[in-house]
Amino acid sequence: MRRSVWRQPGFALLWAGEGTSQLGAQLAGIAMPIIAVTMLRATDAEMGYLNAAQTAAFLIVGLPAGAWLDRMRKRHVMIAADLVRAAAVAVIPLLAILGHLEIWHLVVVGAIVGIATVFFDVGYQSFVPVLVDDDHVGDANGVLEATAQTMRLGGPAVAGGLLGLLAAPVVLLANVAGFLVSALALSGIRDGEVVRPKHEHRNLFVEIGEGIRFVAGNDLLRRVVATVALSNLGSFIVYTLLPIAILRILGIDAFLFGVIMSVGAIGGLAGSLLATRIARAIGEGPAITWSTVVFAASASLLPLSVLVPDAAVVLLMVGEAIFGFTVLVFNIVQVTARQRLCPKPLLGRMNASIRTVVWGVMPIGALVAGGLGTALGTVEAMWIGVAVGALAIPPFLLSRFRTMRALPTRLADAQEQPAEVASDDAAR
């Protein structure tokens, strides 16, 4: 099955570009909070502003991005987004070398990169079904997620090692290189995407509305949105403050910080490799439902580690590994179900509509984290984030989908149905 995925024209280049881009992004993901916390002495509130800036773009341009992408060649948009991100990130080491780097510079760069990432990510999820056959979409997602998790595994550890030798801003140059290599790889793909002629373009807001109505009118997609949004809101409260808890409260050094984050990626890598097998073994509905329960519970180990400092590193590693594993199982199963269910002309708008909500809560979570951390304390705010994340459990646990071996592939089957019909579907 995997070999046939590699035979899909252009898939190897997409994989190569994504891999290098992900590695660079993981280096930046470790270097940026270290720059903020250790070099610039960022407060809880400033960490909230930084994380909000990096994710607010989906609230601002998420919906129109989907409609625009459905009018354009997705590969071209992704290349442009890579180049913009490379240029923006390159500013940080330059300012650091000149001795002028301040926290607001990180916020501005984070916002620019965030906007470009909106276009790249919406285009990326919509490009996979264009590039590969329908029968291979699930396997393609598995390969790409496995690669992403491999980079999440190696990236933080590499970053920790580099930070022992180089200043954190200099490490960001690897992020710049990753974006440039990704753009180069994407430029070599020859896809057969057909873009609608300009005379077929309708009012932008009409097209945006179609994407929103498609998601809002579909019971399965509504539950996916509710689950991911609540999970992201809670986890972003926790993860916005986690660098302060690890680096400042527990006094863990930059290298070990990177190692801890790598352990989370080990779980994610295992989840990405096993997600399809798990879904086939127990069913797609149970895989989504029980992965949600476990990743919501595992988040509690992160603030608990601060209360048990002697076991902090172990608790952090176990929590990260379990969280990473179950989140990837959930993501691969639900993204594949979405891609199968949605008509290709609506893919960009569907993904943008979903991501506007599920990513749009992230800046809210970051700002809430900053406010709660300032008012109540870092650890107390993290516990509130854990409680919010637990609200992600009911949407699938209390639904007819939790027992389905195969999630619907036809629109009519994904709509809300009477209880007796739901029972029949579940039995099948």
Which of residues 253 and 198 earns the better pLDDT score?
A: 253
Give residue 316's pLDDT.
Answer: 97
pLDDT top residue among 8 and 407:
407
The Cα 337–Cα 350 span in angstroms is 13
Q: Is 249 or 143 the better-scoring residue by pLDDT? A: 249
Evaluate the CA torsion angle 362, 367, 373, 375 in order and state its sign. Answer: negative
State the average pLDDT over residues 281-294. Answer: 94
Please tell me the predicted confidence (pLDDT) of residue 30.
78
pLDDT score of 245: 95
More confident residue, 416 or 417: 416
Give residue 195's pLDDT. Answer: 57
Token pair 């990180």 is found at 106
| 213: its two tokens | 């109505």
| pLDDT band (50, 70, 90) for residue 198 | low
pLDDT of 197 over the 60 cut: no
d(CA 10, CA 191): 7
Mean pLDDT along residues 270-276: 88
Helix, strand or coil, per DSSP, at residue 94: helix
Cα–Cα nearest to 109, from 19, 20, 28: 28
CATH fold for domain 8-191+203-419: Growth Hormone; Chain: A; (1.20.1250)
| Residue 86 pLDDT exceeds 80 | yes
- Domain locations along the chain: 8-191+203-419
CB 76 within 8 A of CB 19: no
- Other C-beta atoms lying within 10 Å of the C-beta of residue 249: 16
Coil, strand or helix at 388: helix
Q: Which tokens in the block code for residue 81?
A: 């987004």
**Average pLDDT over all residues of the chain:** 83
Mean pLDDT of 341-347: 82
Q: From CA 318, how far away is CA 301, in angstroms rounded?
A: 8
Question: Average pLDDT for residues 373-400, to the nearest whole number?
Answer: 95
pLDDT tens readout for residues 102-137: 999 999 998 998 888 888 877 777 788 778 777 777
Backbone phi, psi, residue 115, to 5°: -65, -45
Residue type, 220: L
What's the rounded mean pLDDT across residues 393-422?
Answer: 71
- Asked if 232 and 358 count as a contact pair (C-beta separation under 8 A), the reply is yes
Query: What is the per-residue pLDDT across 373-384, written as a single tens digit (0 to 9) for each?
Result: 999 999 999 999
Distance between alpha carbon 99 and the CA centroid of its chain, in Å? 33
Provide the pLDDT confidence category of residue 415 given band limits of 50, 70 and 90. low
- pLDDT, position 314: 96
Burial class (CB in 10 A: 0-12, 13-18, 19+), 135: exposed
pLDDT digits (tens, 9 = 90+) for 148-189: 767 766 677 677 777 766 777 888 888 898 899 999 998 888
Q: What whole-number distance in Å separates Cα of residue 428 and Cα of residue 423? A: 9
Buried-state track 376-412, b at ≥16 Cβ within 10 A, e below 16? eebbebbbbbbebbbbbbebbeebbbbebeebbeeee
Whether residue 349 has pLDDT greater than 90? no
Q: How far apart are CA 378 and CA 167, in angstroms?
A: 27
As a 3-state breakdown, the chain gives helix, strand, coil percent values, each rounded to 5, of 85, 0, 15
pLDDT at 306 over 70: yes
